[in-house]
Structure 1
């Protein structure tokens, strides 16, 4: 069983409802066990700033899915909720990012772990710190190692 953190965000449609739907799908997967869920926060957009504010949160899970299987599930869930990818960091009905997967570090065409920008985003670190302070500390430690 691997322990992972997923970050969720949305800024179009009904963000809180879409995030709740995503968490329901996560909790309903037979190979995913929802351990903790953060409160939702509202934050300014990051990267592309001329858009609506985001609702953000995170979940701590245990799973028997591999990292890429987990990514595929997240992408399929986004599509089911209506996510259409038009522009990088643009408006979205739902975003589900794999932030950590145990203490695995990996870089592939499809997935980088830990998430390469998580340590720079308070809207990720705050919810992660709420549900898994050890993982938030690990994210910051990994970022420090990369910059050294």
Structure 2
């Protein structure tokens, strides 16, 4: 399959986090028009809230998958949201605890700003919980407009 390389961040801090991330990775790989290229291991991190880190909230497991996608970015985003819903995702609170969070980080270097989707992800360059697993999945990764993921991670 030829397509655009897409980077998807996965996170979970409720329920069986590891099983959820593994199931979501399988579901992403099974999407029509999507081929799994690489997947990171899980990285555990403290929960991040709008006010900052919250050590009292359940810790997150985070991972990244790299795929080749024949889908348009918004179509891929909609399918990712369907996977979140199947895993009980509730969007009641900004940056609230969640069974599954799937974020589209980068799609072939495309720059996009819509009400639903901004590419590259506007905060990816500041988030070690995205950069660390992304580097595991792709040691040569670059974030559009920001440079090498390795350099971004070292700067944090």
Question: What TM-score, normalized to structure 1?
Answer: 0.90
Alignment equivalent of 2:146, drawn from 125, 137, 140:
140
Alignment equivalent of 2:63, drawn from 52, 57, 67:
57
Unpaired runs of at least 5, structure 2: 149-156
Report the CA distance between 1:133 and its aligned residue: 3.3
Whether the 8 Å contact between 1:37 and 1:60 is mirrored in structure 2 is yes
Match of 1:126 in 2: 132
Whether the 8 Å contact between 2:8 and 2:64 is mirrored in structure 1 is yes
| Structure in which a larger fraction of residues adopt strand | 2
User: What pairs up with 1:91-106 in 2 under 5 angstroms?
Assistant: 91-106=97-112
Whether the 8 Å contact between 1:39 and 1:127 is mirrored in structure 2 is yes
Report the CA distance between 1:140 and its aligned residue: 3.1
User: What pairs up with 1:23-42 in 2 under 5 angstroms?
Assistant: 23-42=25-44
Paired residues, number? 142
Alignment equivalent of 1:12, drawn from 4, 11, 14:
14
Report the CA distance between 1:46 and its aligned residue: 1.6
Runs (4+) of structure 1 exceeding 6 A deviation are none
| Structure in which a larger fraction of residues adopt helix | 1
Question: What TM-score, normalized to structure 2?
Answer: 0.86
Match of 1:114 in 2: 120
Q: CA RMSD in A?
A: 1.5
Unpaired runs of at least 5, structure 1: 143-148
Report the CA distance between 1:119 and its aligned residue: 0.7
Alignment equivalent of 1:46, drawn from 45, 48, 62:
48
Whether the 8 Å contact between 2:33 and 2:69 is mirrored in structure 1 is yes
Q: Secondary structure at the match of 2:5?
A: strand
